[in-house]
């Protein structure tokens, strides 16, 4: 089974951490401590609650953009008088703005959501390393997790941000960079390992 772990729960009193059997079998004690400390840090930092709020706000932005488009499409803000040449132009401009918002707002909101997710991964790495006082344990665990090419079958895009490393592995994961990273839930593993080893 693929080595991975995740944490969930709205606060420390209502939280759970899960480790795959592949992770337990393939990591040593120090590496497991690093992974568990990372997941505990997500709980202690209220990351699951934060990401839930971010997801709700992303949905709200999409709904507002759709509402604005429908409002302009069905005559929102029209005046009842007949000399509406300027009103027709304004309606056209508002329609174009609505279309742009409907197209771009979900993309931008999703990019913000993914950026927050990546930053929280760095924070959980740092907090977990401080908790164990041994950053090398988590760095070594991340190396082993990234070297394993088996995808986690039960994972999907909606839950990918919950895991310690992206469970949706492909052959080109190592080759991604630049713009491709903007659409990832996790920062590149090599960057995370470098930052952890800089703490030693």
Catalytic residue annotation: 39
Sign, CA dihedral 60-65-71-74, equals negative
Q: Going by DSSP bridges, is the β-strand pair 5-9/15-19 parallel, antiparallel, or unpaired?
A: antiparallel
Burial letters 105-137, b for 16+ CB under 10 A, else e: bbeebbeebbebbbebbeebbbbbbebbebbbb
198 and 126 Cβ atoms separated by less than 8 Å: no
User: What single-letter DSSP state applies at residue 20?
Assistant: -
Q: What CA–CA distance (Å, rounded) separates 148 from 169?
A: 9
Phi–psi pair at 60, nearest 5 degrees: -65, -40
């Amino acid at each position: 089974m693929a080595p991975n772990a995740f944490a969930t729960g709205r606060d420390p009193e209502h939280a759970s951490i899960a480790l795959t059997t592949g992770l337990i079998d393939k990591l040593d004690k120090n590496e497991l401590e690093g992974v568990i400390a990372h997941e505990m840090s997500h709980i202690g930092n209220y990351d699951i609650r934060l990401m839930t709020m971010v997801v709700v706000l992303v949905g709200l932005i999409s709904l507002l953009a759709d509402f604005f488009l429908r409002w302009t499409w069905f005559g929102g803000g029209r005046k009842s008088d007949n000399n509406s040449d300027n009103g027709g132009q304004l309606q056209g401009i508002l329609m174009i703005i609505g279309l742009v918002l409907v197209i771009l707002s979900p993309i931008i909101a999703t990019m913000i959501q993914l950026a927050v997710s990546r930053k929280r991964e760095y924070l959980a790495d740092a907090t977990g390393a401080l908790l164990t006082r041994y950053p090398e344990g988590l760095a070594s665990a991340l190396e082993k997790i990234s070297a394993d090419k088996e995808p986690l079958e039960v994972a999907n895009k909606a839950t990918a941000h919950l895991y310690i490393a992206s469970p949706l592995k492909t052959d080109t994961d190592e080759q991604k960079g630049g713009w491709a990273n903007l659409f990832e839930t996790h920062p590149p593993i090599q960057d995370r390992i470098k930052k952890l080893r800089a703490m030693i």
